[in-house]
Amino acid sequence: MTARVVREWLLWLAALAIVTAALLSMRARLNEAHVALAFLLVVQLGAARGGRWLGFLLAALAFLSMDVLFLPPYGTLAIRDPLDLLVLAAFLVSSLVAAQLLYLARRAAQVGERAQYLMESHRAKDAVLAGVSHDIRTPLTTIKGLAQSLARDGDDRAEVIEEEADRLITFVGKLLDLSRVTSGTAAPDIQLNEVEDLLGAVAQRVAGRLGDRELVFHLESGEPLLIGRFDFAETLRALANLVENAARFGPAARPIELRVRRMGVMLEIAVHDEGPGVPAEERERIFDAFYRPARSQPDAGGVGLGLSIARGIARAQGGELTLVAGAGAGCTFLMTLPAVSVEELARMGDGSS
């Protein structure tokens, strides 16, 4: 017990003593109700200020002094009128209940304050992120825009400035994505979505970034509808990351394959490239933020954030992202997402089948 708590308890015990003395001096003019209400007031105020246990102690002491000092015969625990017993019992129960209720109310208020505090700090963080994002993107926009106009005038050094600005832009974007995904402040917007629609959007997003590599889709034909419950924009971001990775590490002129099927209650989206693959000891570490394989060329592009962002996105919506150890060359990333069955859709009255 801290000194502050001891003082609080002593204060309320003294208050009880004073009230008792005051009541005692006018005992002749009082009935049980006056006494009970006065004591109840002390017990409740004490419980509100000093907590549940102080409330219980005050209730017990008030109970005793009421019995001994205010209910005849005075000076003993005995009671003359059986109805007085009822008064005593009612007093004890109501003061204990009041102490407990006050305690709970105080707890709830504290929990609410903490939740509010957490929410406010999340909001503050989002605001800082948005601000940083704005503060970094605005000068980059200027640099990029002026470099472009210099390049139009025929200065080929300006193209390098633009490329480097683009690299910074990508990096900043990924840092913000990572922070957003790992902090969990932005809840995913989970909707029913078709994988087919998602693949179309992936093709659109990565168009022009794959060089001479073809993006090939394999959709399981037995399934009439591959529909899942996921955040479309976030999942698109994750998949585009995986496809761009595949393009970065896969050999030129070889296709990148995207294969989708349903496995039980999950959808599986596999992204396969025919690159050098990942050695077994690195299969988990490549998902760490900023991790770069030991053998990777220093300028392979990317800063080692894409995979941790993609995994964060998959997990935030109840899925997973892993690297599958497959036979043969290359590398297969497997993303799972919660699936919706046709029967389930029919029950929802979707009417799409």
Partner 1 sequence: MSRPAEPPATETILIVDDEPQIRRVLRNALEPLFARVVEAATASAAIDMAAAERPGLVILDLGLPDRPGVEVCGEIRQWSTVPILVLSARHADHEKVGLLDAGADDYLTKPFSTSELVARVRALLRRAHVAPVGGATQVIEMDGLTIDLAKPMAKRDGITIHLTKTEWDVLRTMLRHAGRTLTHQQLFRAVWGNSFGDMQQYLRVHVRSLRRKLERDPVRPQLIRTEPGVGYRFETDP
Q: Which residues bind partner 1 (CB under 8 A)?
A: 130, 133-134, 137-142, 144-146, 148-149, 165, 169, 189, 191-194, 196-197, 199-201, 203-204, 217, 219, 231-233, 236, 350-352
Q: Name which of 36 and 202 has its Cβ closer to partner 1.
A: 202
**Least separation in angstroms between CB 98 and partner 1:** 47
**Least separation in angstroms between CB 197 and partner 1:** 6
Residue among 274, 280, 278 nearest 292 (CA):
278
**Do the Cβ atoms of 312 and 230 come closer than 8 Å?**
no
The CA distance from 221 to 104, in Å, is 58
Cα-to-chain-centroid distance, residue 228: 22
Q: Name which of 108 and 348 has its Cβ closer to partner 1.
A: 348
Write a three-state SS string for the chain: CCHHHHHHHHHHHHHHHHHHHHHHHCHHHCCHHHHHHHHHHHHHHHHHHHCHHHHHHHHHHHHHHHHHHHCCCCCCCCCCCHHHHHHHHHHHHHHHHHHHHHHHHHHHHHHHHHHHHHHHHHHHHHHHHHHHHHHHHHHHHHHHHHHHHHHHCCCCHHHHHHHHHHHHHHHHHHHHHHHHHHHCCCCCCCEEEEHHHHHHHHHHHHCCCCCCCCEEEEECCCCCCCEEEECHHHHHHHHHHHHHHHHHHCCCCCCEEEEEEEECCEEEEEEEECCCCCCHHHCCHHHCCCCCCCCCCCCCCCCCCHHHHHHHHHHHCCCEEEEECCCCCCEEEEEEEEEECHHHHHHCCCCCC
Q: Name which of 217 and 291 has its Cβ closer to partner 1.
A: 217
**Least separation in angstroms between CB 244 and partner 1:** 16
Q: Name which of 95 and 193 has its Cβ closer to partner 1.
A: 193
**Least separation in angstroms between CB 50 and partner 1:** 47
Q: What angle do CA 102, 104, 107 make, to 5 degrees?
A: 110
The CA distance from 20 to 115, in Å, is 42
Q: Name which of 155 and 197 has its Cβ closer to partner 1.
A: 197
**Least separation in angstroms between CB 351 and partner 1:** 7
**Least separation in angstroms between CB 251 and partner 1:** 23
Q: Name which of 183 and 204 has its Cβ closer to partner 1.
A: 204
**Least separation in angstroms between CB 164 and partner 1:** 13
Q: Name which of 25 and 138 has its Cβ closer to partner 1.
A: 138
**Least separation in angstroms between CB 6 and partner 1:** 53
**Least separation in angstroms between CB 352 and partner 1:** 4
Q: Name which of 200 and 326 has its Cβ closer to partner 1.
A: 200
Q: Name which of 113 and 197 has its Cβ closer to partner 1.
A: 197
